Structure 1
Amino acid sequence: MLRFEDENSQLKDKSPCSGIRADLKVCLLESDCVKIRGKTPRDCLKSGETPVECQSLRNTFFECKRSLLDARQRFRGRKGY
């Protein structure tokens, strides 16, 4: 879902889960809730007016962030990385 201008472009943010965060931002900014209704992405997430793709990206982002705190993930690796 993340689109780059050229193939060699990379995210400036190298933190864990940054790719999922960027995909979620793009999904929210391109949703009808933000474009047509003029709401902020935060308001759209709170009201639940986001498309299914954005909701699944939000859940994946949550799981990725949670895996950073889980000590068992040191052995299994982070989700979405």
Structure 2
Amino acid sequence: MPKYYPEEEGEEPKPKTACSGIREDLLDCLLKSDCVMKDGKTPRECLQLGHHPSIPNKCHNLRTAFFECKRSILDMRSRFRGRKGY
């Protein structure tokens, strides 16, 4: 699930890049997976393994969603229709 943090008073909101919420969720999911915790690999190495049993399906679904989000940025039709999910 996407995480939303309330902004504190006096702080300027940080500029969010496209797909940053999904990216944070994917990183969080990978850091909590057995691939990183038990095997001692980096999140990048775990993503390159593909469908490995030590990576939960939630992380694979977030990876697909992140890919689709990034792809929608490059899609010229999105200039007229807007990005998916927004």
Q: Same fold (TM over 0.5)?
A: yes
Determine if contact 1:28/1:54 at 8 Å carries over to the other structure: yes
CA distance in 2, matches of 1:71, 1:58: 22
1:69 and 1:34, CA in 2 relative to 1: closer, same or farther beyond 3 A?
Answer: same
CA distance in 2, matches of 1:47, 1:15: 27
CA shift digits 1:16-68 (9 cap, x unpaired)? 10000000000000001100111111111111222111111111101101111
The structure 1 residue matched to 2:6, chosen from 5, 8, 14, is 8
The structure 2 residue matched to 1:26, chosen from 25, 28, 38, is 28
Unmatched runs of 5 consecutive residues or more in structure 1 = none
Determine if contact 2:3/2:21 at 8 Å carries over to the other structure: no
The structure 2 residue matched to 1:54, chosen from 48, 51, 59, is 59
> Percent of aligned positions with the same letter in both sequences?
59
1:38 and 1:55, CA in 2 relative to 1: closer, same or farther beyond 3 A?
Answer: same
State how many pairs are aligned: 79
Indicate the RMSD between aligned Cα atoms, in angstroms: 2.2
- Residue 35 of structure 1 is matched in structure 2 by 37
Answer with 1 or 2: which has the greater Rg: 2
Which contiguous aligned blocks of 4+ residues in structure 1 show a shift greater than 3 angstroms?
A: 1-4, 9-13
